[in-house]
Amino acid sequence: MSLFVHYLSLPYLLEGIWFTVVVTALGLGGGLILGLVLAAMQLSRFWVLAAFARGYTVIFRGTPLILQMVFAYDALPQIGLKLSAVGAAGLALAANEAPFIAEMLRAGVLGVDRGQVLAGQALGMTPALLMRRIIAPQAIRTMIPAFGNETVSALKNSSLASVISVQELTLRSTQLASSTFDFFSIFFASGLIYLVLTTAVSVIQLFVERALDLDRATPQGRLAIFLPWRRVDLSTKLKLAEQTAAPTAPAQAPPDVPLPPRAASRADRAKHAAMVERNNVAVEVTELRKKYGEQSVLDGLDLTVRVGEVVALMGPSGSGKSTLLRCINHLEDWDSGMVRVCGRRLGHRDDGRPLSPRAIANERASVGVGMVFQQFNLFSHLTARENVAGPLRWVHGMTRVDADRRARELLERVGLGHRADALPRHLSGGQQQRVAIARALAPNPSVLLLDEPTSALDPELVNEVLEVIRRLAIDDGLTMIISTHQIRFADDVADRVAFLSGGAILEEGPAHEVLTNPRHPVTARFLSLMEADKAPERTA
Amino acid sequence: MHKWFSTESRPQRMSSAAHAGLRIAALGAFLLAGLCAPMSANAAPAGCAALQAKYPSLKGKQLVNAINPHTPGYEAIDPKDPNKYVGFDIDLGEQIGECLGFTLTYKAVTFAALLTTLSSGQADIVISDIYATEERAKAADFITYSKVFDGVLVAKGNPKKITGINSSMCGAAAAENTGFVEVPLVQALVAPCKAEGKAEPTLQLYDNNANCIQAILAGRADTYVNDVNTVDQAVKANPDKLEKAIAVTIPYSVGIAVPKDKPEFRDAVMAALIEVQKAGIHKELLKKWDLDPNNFKEPDILSVK
């Protein structure tokens, strides 16, 4: 026992810790850099890069670290690259860690909700901006446990550097045992030292996890404010703590939205419709075709929407409504046809050649097509206000003060001023969708696309969202294209209804007319089915 | 260090290293180390000035000596100050360095990695109780300096009655270090054992002496054949559990390994070793480390194409 304590405190062994830590740090740091490069290559659009990264992964994940160490130490000097023992060990460990870290990074990136990426794209964020502001902050949180594991494993793997003469803990232990014959005391002592080191890693991991935990806006969570994506000004910090700590208010909409009864008479509607007919064209879709494999989704679709017009897209699931909306925003490519928004041909240069993703993003931002998704797709690591204000700063270069003011105004308008500092997960579905609408409106889009905005909501939450949309139509005269199954809502809000089936418009016309008096038998059948569905639901 | 203790001599594979036999005294050496330390303060032998003039490029240099520091008496860390390496090979190397005007730093590697470390340029010289064999001389040139005596380490009482690398080892488990010259000798027993209708010997390969000794202590291996001094050290450390079954002379020499592409350096080391021997330092060192004076050997060069 006394020998054990003697070895535990022996400077010779304690100094070995330094080499262990240096090799581990080199391996992890280098592995992180290499892993970032590898992950970027694997996720890249260019298959050659992806293939190269795959090949690297196969080789370095598939061969033992000890061989890689010996290779870095003994073989590299043959080609003139003579690293120190610590350098060679660090290099080998980094090369070995890289594929594992790359897989972690890739899983983290792919694990971020695809809908948030779409929403970011729709807001005009470039791929780099998306990565920095939306994907990375969320991916990093999910990767911390895996990274903790990787650190512990690298720490233990650093002991293999003993084969290439790095004076780390294991080598020093074996040497000491050789000259003193006190095997067990020495190995127990060095085992304990390793345990202390790995425990320290676990503690750091837990601390970082807590610090980055968005739900802990308590003093322990204050580290999070140092992260660029979540800088909360001091004045709101306390408020935020109170609000997120408070139990989520029941999602009763009424106090949120003071509803001005919509008094537009049929005559007013007709007048409105007649007026917009003389307006400029906002969106023009011609001969749009798109196939998923053999399946034709859009089959020569034509649609013209004028400024200030509200068009409801109706039709069965799979009729192409969502695809059409995404094409208008160029979130999806199409096979042939043309989409013009405010006279600009989206997604293509004037000569018809395709644009890069980055250029498309910039174009989206400048043309101004807002989009609201069925699944809300709020950025889940950002508060309601940041969901609105963030893109204004990042994409449109607004100052923090201006962006915050604009966000506050819009949140007030959708009745959520008091929830500005709540995270999306603490909001009801209806509240989330209202935030999403505020976010889409923030850059003053010339057209707002709404893709089944109430389909994912519980029935009692539908109205609060419809009401917000209705006011946009009536009060703001916003140009909107809404895909919806809400017949009454369409009748109420839309100037025109377009009925899609099989990727083309089967029937279109003034909303009330199409909905009450469909000419096409398919439209009639669909509408009667929808009405029939409604009835039992209402009574239920 | 490995050597072969078998009584039959296989001149074609020995080449090297001779240092073996003397290690008996390792424990004593530990105790004496402190007292003997002043010895290294000896002034360099007279002929060394001429050598320094002849090989001026070595003067003032710091060279790297790759060692497998698991052999108390030859090279191991100093238990009193683990930051230092001590032993006969260490002292001899420093005497040669002093003669030629260079100093040495040490790089601790596994036995099997000694020569790869040298040939990759990660070390300049290997003075680590390595036997100079023809096989190894393909990777490095050797300056031999010591004769080899092997001992057979067994558990107390020699339960398997092992008497050497011969048919007494049939069916036994032998622990050896990867790369030791004893390894092929044990492997060569397979056929004779079969011919006698006995079980084959098995080999367990480890990275250093300490692991081989542990294998016997743990009952995993029946024997470990190596330099007799190493064997004696192990017996002294564990007198209740281990014993030396037999000591044999084997036809190898221990050698200093130097890169094949530096003949001038090789010749300089050899010349310095001769000076060190002439001045009586080599024998003093054998005495200091309690090694058998019979280990002394005048240097030869082993170099194969």
A89 contacts: CB under 8 Å, gap ≥ 6: A23, A26, A27, A69, A72, A73, A158, A160, A161, A164, A166
CB-CB neighbors (< 8 A) of B208 in chain A: 174, 178
CA angle B253, B257, B261 (to 5 degrees): 135
Q: What is the pLDDT of residue B66?
A: 95
Q: Are B266 and B302 in contact (CB under 8 A)?
A: no
Is B109's CB within 8 Å of A180's CB?
no
Which residues touch A318 (CB under 8 Å, ≥6 apart)?
none
User: Cβ contact (<8 Å) for B69 and A179?
Assistant: yes
The top-scoring range by mean pLDDT among A219-223, A346-350, B267-271 is B267-271
More confidently predicted of A361 and A537: A361
The tokens describing A358, both together, are: 């980055």
Q: What is the pLDDT of residue B37?
A: 42
Residue type for position A170: T
Contact check, Cβ <8 Å, A181/B238: yes
* pLDDT digit string, tens, across residues B99-148: 999 999 999 888 888 998 898 888 999 999 999 988 899 999 999 999 88
- What's the pLDDT at A333? 85
> B46-59 burial by CB neighbour count: b if 16+ within 10 A, else e?
ebbeebbeebeebe
Cα-Cα-Cα-Cα torsion A497, A503, A504, A506, nearest 10 degrees, comes to -60
The tokens of A421 are what? 């500092």
Examine the pLDDT at A264 and tell me if it is beyond 80. no
- With an 8 Å Cβ cutoff, the interface of chain A facing chain B consists of 10, 12-13, 15, 70, 73-75, 77-78, 82, 85, 163-165, 167, 171-172, 174-181, 183
pLDDT at res. A247: 45
Question: DSSP letter string over A252-286?
Answer: --TTT---------HHHHHHHHHHHTTSPEEEEEE
Q: For chain A, give the percent of residues with pLDDT over 90.
A: 50
- For residue A396, give the H/E element and its range: helix A384-396
Q: Which of A77, A82, A165 sits opposite B109 (nearest CB)?
A: A165
> What does pLDDT average to over chain A?
85
Are A85 and B107 within 8 A, CB to CB?
yes
Nearest residue of chain A to residue B214 (CA atoms): A183
Q: How far is A64 from chain B (nearest CA, A)?
A: 17
pLDDT at B292: 85
Phi, psi of B241 (to 5 degrees): -115, -20
pLDDT in tens, A442-495: 999 989 999 999 888 888 888 889 888 988 888 888 899 999 988 888 888 899
Q: What is the CA radius of gyration of chain A?
A: 30
Q: Which residue of B has its CA nearest to A177?
A: B210
Residues A68-119: tens digit of each pLDDT: 998 998 888 888 888 888 999 999 999 999 999 999 999 999 999 999 999 9
pLDDT at B247: 78
Q: Taking the CA of residue B23 as centre, how many other CA atoms within 13 Å lie in the half-sphere pointing to its CB?
A: 35
| pLDDT tens readout for residues A428-445 | 999 999 999 999 999 999
Determine the pLDDT at residue A52.
94
Phi, psi of A423 (to 5 degrees): -80, 150
pLDDT tens digit sequence for A232-260: 455 555 555 555 544 444 444 344 444 44
Cα-Cα end-to-end distance for chain B: 23
- CA angle B289-B290-B296, nearest 5°? 85
Phi then psi dihedrals of residue B209, to 5 deg: -55, -40
Least Cα distance to A490 among A507, A506, A513 occurs for A513
The secondary structure of residue A248, as a DSSP letter, is P
Which fold does the domain B149-250 belong to in CATH? D-Maltodextrin-Binding Protein; domain 2 (3.40.190)
Whole-number Å distance between alpha carbons of A539 and A300: 41
Distance from C-alpha of A404 to C-alpha of A107, rounded to nearest angstrom: 33
Alpha carbon of B11: minimum distance to chain A alpha carbons (Å) = 30
Sequence ranges of the domains in chain B: 11-147+252-302, 149-250
pLDDT surpasses 90 at A201: yes
Asked if residue A418 has pLDDT above 90, the reply is yes
pLDDT of residue B34: 42
Q: Write the CA distances from B254 to A259, B176, B182, integer angstroms.
A: 99, 18, 14
pLDDT for the residue numbered B21: 39
Residues on chain B touching A174 (C-beta within 8 angstroms): 70, 207-208, 210-211
Radius of gyration of chain B measured on its C-alpha atoms: 19
Which percentage of chain A shows pLDDT scores above 70? 88
**In which order are the strands placed within the sheet that holds B70-71?**
B70-71, B75-78, B81-86
Which of A74, A163, A183 faces B122 most closely, judged by CB atoms?
A74
Token pair 């194969």: residue? B304
- Residues of chain A by 3-state class (helix, strand, coil), percent to 5: 60, 10, 25
Give the pLDDT confidence of A176-197 residue by residue, as tens digits: 888 888 888 999 999 999 999 9
Q: Which residues on chain A are in Cβ contact (under 8 Å) with B83?
A: 12, 15
Query: The complex's ipTM?
Result: 0.70
- Those residues whose C-beta lies under 8 Å from the C-beta of residue B74, and which sit 6 or more positions away, are B1, B19, B23, B87, B88, B89, B128, B129, B227, B229, B230, B289
Q: Do B108 and A175 touch (CB under 8 A)?
A: yes
Q: Give dist(CA A224, CA A227) in Å, integer.
A: 5
Distance from CA of B94 to the nearest CA of A (A): 20
The alpha-helical segments, DSSP class H, found in A220-374 are 234-245, 266-276, 321-328, 357-367
Please give the pLDDT value at position B249: 72
> Identical fold at B11-147+252-302 and B149-250?
yes
How confident is residue A3, by pLDDT bands cut at 50, 70 and 90? confident
pLDDT digits (tens, 9 = 90+) for A16-53: 999 999 999 999 999 999 999 999 998 888 899 999 99
If you search the block for the tokens 């780099």, which residue do you land on?
A128
pLDDT interval class at A363 (50, 70, 90)? confident
Give pLDDT < 70 ranges for chain B. Answer: 1-44
Query: What was the pLDDT predicted at B251?
Result: 78
CATH of B11-147+252-302, one of 3.40.430.10, 3.20.20.105, 3.40.190.10, 3.40.50.300: 3.40.190.10
Biggest alpha carbon–alpha carbon distance for chain A = 102
C-alpha to C-alpha distance for A338 and B19, rounded to whole angstroms: 88
Q: Which of A528, A179, A50, A27 is nearest to B26 (CA)?
A: A179
Q: At what angle do helices B88-100 and B281-288 cross, to 10 degrees?
A: 150
- Per-residue pLDDT tens digits for A394-408: 999 999 999 999 999
Q: Which residues of B touch A (CB under 8 A)?
A: 66, 69-72, 76-79, 82-83, 107-110, 113, 116-117, 119-122, 207-211, 213-214, 234, 237-238
Domains of chain A, CATH where assigned:
8-170 (1.10.3720.10), 266-368+445-539 (3.40.50.300), 381-444 (no CATH)
DSSP bridge pairs for B81:
B78
